Amino acid sequence: MTIIYVDADACPVKNETMKVGERHKVQVIFVSNAWMRLPDSPFAERHIVPDGPDEADKWIAEKAGRGDVVVTADVPLAARCVDAGALVISPNGRPFKEDAMGMRLAMRDLSTHLREIGAIREGGPAFSKADRSRFLNQMETVMRAAKRMSEAQR
């Protein structure tokens, strides 16, 4: 059975994720380090992990598997979930694909290094309405694929 895991601490698409989860009648687990207000739905579940670096990521990576969907912007978490067979999508609607994970990890490491040495200072572009729309469209596609994978496992 498909489950949607959301790396919720800084996720800008909680409501959109919940809409897709409700439409497909699947459980949506919001994982965070602290309590936060969630969309009101019988399909929404909150899981609070202990304080500490990457605790939410560790929990999601241990749980997510083939036929599940993970919503995260965290590239190392995405890589672990893709390796486990989950379908992973970023909040801006870009899916994480197995064949591109090496490049995405390398680009993340390069950006981190450039920020550390002061070569770049600004963060990424602001989250836009186009990102939100792309997320909803792509999430629907990813959800259908995940449900097919989950059904094939039975």
The reported pLDDT for the residue numbered 152 is 83
Mean pLDDT of the chain, nearest integer: 87
What is the crossing angle of helices 14-24 and 129-153, to 10°?
Answer: 40
| CATH assignment of the domain containing 50 | 3.40.50
Look at the block and give the residue holding tokens 């490491």. 109
In a domain, 143, yes or no: yes
Please count the structural domains in the chain: 1
In a domain, 119, yes or no: no
Which ranges of the chain have pLDDT less than 70? 98-124, 154
How far is the C-alpha of 66 from the C-alpha of 83, rounded, in Å?
9
Range of the domain at 57: 3-98+128-153
The reported pLDDT for the residue numbered 150 is 86
Instruction: Dump pLDDT digits (tens) for 117-149.
Output: 666 666 667 788 999 999 999 999 999 999 999
